Chains A and B, each alone.
Chain A
Amino acid sequence: MIFDPSTNFYSINDFLIYFLSDAANLFFCFIFLATFLFFNKINLKEFFYWGFLFFLVSIINLFAASFNIFPDLNGYLFCLRDLRDNFSFQEAECTITSMGSSDTILEEDGGAFGVFSLKRSLPAILYSLIPIPSIATLSSLGFINKIFLFLTYLVLKKHVIHIKPYLNILLFLFIFPSIMLYSSVGLRDNIIFCTQVLLLLTIFQKQFFRSGFLLAVLCSIKFQNGLIFSILFIGVFFFKADQGKRLFSLYCLTILAVLIYFHDRIVEIINYFRLAFLNEVGAISPNMVFEGYDSLVNIILISPLTFFNGIFSPMPLNILSVIFFLESFSIVAISLWLFSKKLFSNSFFLMLVFITVFGGVVLNALVIENDFTFLRYKYSFTSLFLIYLLIDSKKNVIN
């Protein structure tokens, strides 16, 4: 992987270098795809389909990177270069949780507990596993992200019934605007999405060690998502909540008890992150009075409404939000269609998956003010329910 140590990254202003770097990466991705074609892992149609998706990475990045749509886009490339330069992370921004980062939460007594986070370093390590020819532009990480998404597709494909509507839905999933957008830019959200999909699959297959490892990876990259997924993990492996009404009820009661016991801390953390997100969009002034959520009961009461609002958010106000609204609508429609087929094998597991998706969407909707930041955080949850219905259908269709 080549890069210029004297320049952070090349933008479209250095057109020739930008073009050569992107084209070299695109050719690499085509050859990578072709290898799977030669080993009969994909057919020619899939080859062209994914080839087109890889081509779109260049186009999307032209718009996304050139106009600074994602200000933190440079962070992961910066850490990847740090890793390549020093064979370890030397830059403060790339190391494990440091005091004063947004993951450090101040306690009432003045102490602080740091949340374990490798949010930049672990994605950088994962990105370094793909020998992409050039990391001179921001779109380089977009190509790596798309490769990760393609590999996730290959894993999923094995577990989806190979008849037309199901395989087509799976293929259709990867051209949903948010999945297509976030897997084409150099952000960690795609790695989070892929990890969550694989985690769901391994939990569904009751592979304890693999899911434990993936949960640890998820917690390291994005702690709050790991926390939400631990509901599914603990429910399946420790409470066996997917194996009967009694065990499921017992698990739900345990969750409720935990929520009640830690209600103050939970509200405090939700308010903390809400404040942090308000600060990020510049909605905080020194004289403002911040009114956070006052109790967990209130949060639970408004959560169904927050969930429905969150699922369809952003509301169609301009062309861009209409596209994402249609996507949300399509995901709900396809999920309901698959659900109506009643092909799922285990309704308790399905409920656990739904609780996880519900928790993920609600928690993000409670704290995030910006519509497009919310979209970025929610997309890794919304399509999970659909993916679960797809992989669970295989069992029943075969039987």
Chain B
Amino acid sequence: MISAKTYLKYLQKKQKRIFYTSVAFFILGFIFLLFENPKYDVSIIVNQTGDEGYANNTGGSALISLALGKEASASQFYYDFKEALYSREVTKLYDNKHQGMKIFFGNLYDEKTDTFRPIRNLGSILRTIKLFFIGVDYDSRPNLFTLNDHIKATVSVNYDKFADSISVSSSTSNPKLIGSLIESLIIETDNFFKMQERDVIQAKITFLIEELKVSQSISQRDAISQILKGQLLKQALVNTDSLYKLKIVRGLEISQFPTSPNLSFILLLFTVFGFMASAGFYTARYIHIYTDWESFFDS
């Protein structure tokens, strides 16, 4: 008959086996660690350029914030930067200039057909099943969406509210490749900001030149030419290769030693799994032995 008392007695009898199983899994965890690829931390610290009054330079999302009754806060730039860095536009810019698709999915590239072969892994199989249920065909060939997902999964963007700076980082087993990815992404994000403003600045300059032509008053002409000067400076900056909206506070740094795998976590996880699996096994066995299955199936 099943009861808490007999169960505890049964477990007491099996405690040695439970202990040995836990130890065995601890050893397995150690072996696993030996074969794990070490991962390094890669990071860059950036900030917005000081002379750009970002709060006054409201974009679409700031307008939404205002519509929702929130002030455009100091951290607004962080959110805009993060959205831009993870955007498909920046991914496209990165792929066009740096051949991102071939760098990350080159092993799937078929030179004869000039296309990529489909990705075959558990994730793609699960996604095929999921999309089948909602009636959508899924093609697992890598494309810009896949590269964008890869960037989102590899690179993380965090805001340090105390230092008011943004950290773009990654934990990777290939620090050189990911380091160059982060550097390129920052440049392309800045280019993306430049592209957004280029047309606006040009329109402003055209308008100011027209105003300057028709204006008669000296003071008015002086004021307009001051504004025009500012816009021309901006235009000059937008058209160069130097960073426009971003400032590199600290360049690319790669940790000296691997930061992953986490030894204590892996060993603890294996040991806990061994303990829970053996305790679970003996619990199931106890239920199996002490249950009157005939009456169970009769009921």
Q: Chain A: residues with CB nearer than 8 A to chain B? A: 2-7, 12-13, 15-17, 20-21, 23-28, 30-31, 34-35, 37-39, 44, 47, 62-63, 66-67, 92, 100, 102, 104-106, 112, 133-134, 136, 272, 275-276, 279, 284-286, 290, 318-320
Binding-face segment, B184-192, B204-212, B268-276: B268-276
Listed by A's residue number, 25 A-B pairs whose Cβ atoms lie within 8 Å are A2-B272, A4-B262, A6-B260, A15-B122, A17-B266, A17-B269, A20-B270, A24-B273, A24-B276, A24-B277, A25-B276, A27-B276, A27-B277, A27-B279, A31-B283, A34-B7, A47-B287, A67-B130, A92-B161, A100-B71, A102-B68, A134-B269, A136-B269, A318-B135, A319-B135
Within 8 A of A (CB), among B240-299: 259-260, 262, 265-266, 268-270, 272-273, 276-277, 279-280, 283-284, 287, 291, 296
Whole-angstrom distance between the Cβ of A200 and the nearest chain B Cβ: 32
State whether A12 touches B123 (Cβ < 8 A): yes
CA distance A100 to B79 in the complex (A): 14
Whole-angstrom distance between the Cβ of B157 and the nearest chain A Cβ: 13
Judged by a CB distance under 8 angstroms, whether B70 is at the interface is yes
State whether B265 touches A3 (Cβ < 8 A): yes
State whether B276 touches A28 (Cβ < 8 A): yes
State whether A6 touches B126 (Cβ < 8 A): no
**Cβ–Cβ < 8 Å partners of A27 in chain B:** 276-277, 279-280
Judged by a CB distance under 8 angstroms, whether B171 is at the interface is yes
**Cβ–Cβ < 8 Å partners of B171 in chain A:** 6-7
Provide the B41-80 mask, 1 if CB < 8 A to any CB of A, else 0: 0000000000000000000100110011111010000000
**Cβ–Cβ < 8 Å partners of A279 in chain B:** 64, 67-68
Whole-angstrom distance between the Cβ of A67 and the nearest chain B Cβ: 6
Whole-angstrom distance between the Cβ of A73 and the nearest chain B Cβ: 15
**Cβ–Cβ < 8 Å partners of A284 in chain B:** 64, 67
State whether B291 touches A44 (Cβ < 8 A): yes
**Cβ–Cβ < 8 Å partners of A6 in chain B:** 171, 259-260, 262
**Cβ–Cβ < 8 Å partners of A7 in chain B:** 171, 260, 262
Judged by a CB distance under 8 angstroms, whether B176 is at the interface is no
CA distance A105 to B268 in the complex (A): 46
Given A100-B73, A272-B68, 17 more contacts at CB 8 Å?
A2-B269, A3-B265, A5-B262, A20-B273, A21-B273, A24-B276, A30-B283, A35-B4, A38-B2, A38-B3, A67-B130, A100-B70, A104-B69, A104-B70, A275-B67, A285-B60, A290-B67
State whether B32 touches A16 (Cβ < 8 A): yes
CA distance A5 to B262 in the complex (A): 9
Decide yes or no: A319 and B134 within 8 Å by CB, A12-B122, A17-B269, A279-B64 being known contacts.
yes
**Cβ–Cβ < 8 Å partners of B277 in chain A:** 23-24, 27
Total chain B interface residues with beta-carbon distance under 8 A: 44
How many A-B pairs fall under 8 Å by CB?
Answer: 116
**Cβ–Cβ < 8 Å partners of B198 in chain A:** none
Decide yes or no: A286 and B60 within 8 Å by CB, A6-B262, A24-B269, A31-B280 being known contacts.
yes
Q: Chain B: residues with CB nearer than 8 A to chain A? A: 2-4, 7, 32, 60, 63-64, 67-71, 73, 122-123, 126-127, 130, 133-135, 153, 161, 171, 259-260, 262, 265-266, 268-270, 272-273, 276-277, 279-280, 283-284, 287, 291, 296
**Cβ–Cβ < 8 Å partners of B127 in chain A:** 66-67
**Cβ–Cβ < 8 Å partners of B259 in chain A:** 6
CA distance A12 to B4 in the complex (A): 37
**Cβ–Cβ < 8 Å partners of B70 in chain A:** 100, 104, 106
**Cβ–Cβ < 8 Å partners of A290 in chain B:** 67
Whole-angstrom distance between the Cβ of A20 and the nearest chain B Cβ: 5
**Cβ–Cβ < 8 Å partners of A320 in chain B:** 133-134
**Cβ–Cβ < 8 Å partners of A134 in chain B:** 269, 272
State whether A4 touches B3 (Cβ < 8 A): no
CA distance A275 to B67 in the complex (A): 9
State whether B2 touches A37 (Cβ < 8 A): yes
**Cβ–Cβ < 8 Å partners of A20 in chain B:** 269-270, 273
Whole-angstrom distance between the Cβ of B74 and the nearest chain A Cβ: 11
In the complex, the chain A residue whose C-beta lies closest to that of B149 is A68
In the complex, the chain A residue whose C-beta lies closest to that of B135 is A318
State whether A66 touches B3 (Cβ < 8 A): no
**Cβ–Cβ < 8 Å partners of B7 in chain A:** 34, 38
Residue from B69, B134, B296 in contact with A44 in the complex, judged by beta carbons closer than 8 Å: B296
CA distance A17 to B270 in the complex (A): 9
Residue from B67, B262, B279 in contact with A31 in the complex, judged by beta carbons closer than 8 Å: B279
In the complex, the chain B residue whose C-beta lies closest to that of A133 is B272
Residue from A17, A47, A66 in contact with B123 in the complex, judged by beta carbons closer than 8 Å: A66
Decide yes or no: A30 and B133 within 8 Å by CB, A4-B262, A39-B4 being known contacts.
no
CA distance A4 to B272 in the complex (A): 14
In the complex, the chain A residue whose C-beta lies closest to that of B25 is A20
CA distance A272 to B269 in the complex (A): 46
CA distance A4 to B268 in the complex (A): 10
Whole-angstrom distance between the Cβ of B124 and the nearest chain A Cβ: 11
5 tightest A-B CB contacts, nearest first: A106-B69, A27-B280, A27-B276, A4-B265, A38-B4
State whether A112 touches B134 (Cβ < 8 A): no
CA distance A105 to B69 in the complex (A): 7
In the complex, the chain B residue whose C-beta lies closest to that of A19 is B273
State whether A2 touches B268 (Cβ < 8 A): yes
State whether A21 touches B123 (Cβ < 8 A): no
State whether B291 touches A21 (Cβ < 8 A): no
CA distance A393 to B269 in the complex (A): 47
CA distance A174 to B52 in the complex (A): 56
Whole-angstrom distance between the Cβ of B229 and the nearest chain A Cβ: 29
**Cβ–Cβ < 8 Å partners of B130 in chain A:** 63, 67
Whole-angstrom distance between the Cβ of A168 and the nearest chain B Cβ: 14
In the complex, the chain A residue whose C-beta lies closest to that of B260 is A6
A38, A92, A106 — which one has the most chain B CB atoms within 10 A of its CB? Answer: A38
Whole-angstrom distance between the Cβ of B213 and the nearest chain A Cβ: 31
Whole-angstrom distance between the Cβ of A75 and the nearest chain B Cβ: 15
State whether A21 touches B269 (Cβ < 8 A): yes
**Cβ–Cβ < 8 Å partners of A100 in chain B:** 70-71, 73
CA distance A20 to B265 in the complex (A): 12
State whether A24 touches B122 (Cβ < 8 A): no
In the complex, the chain B residue whose C-beta lies closest to that of A39 is B4
Whole-angstrom distance between the Cβ of B175 and the nearest chain A Cβ: 15
In the complex, the chain B residue whose C-beta lies closest to that of A17 is B269
In the complex, the chain B residue whose C-beta lies closest to that of A25 is B276
CA distance A190 to B264 in the complex (A): 32
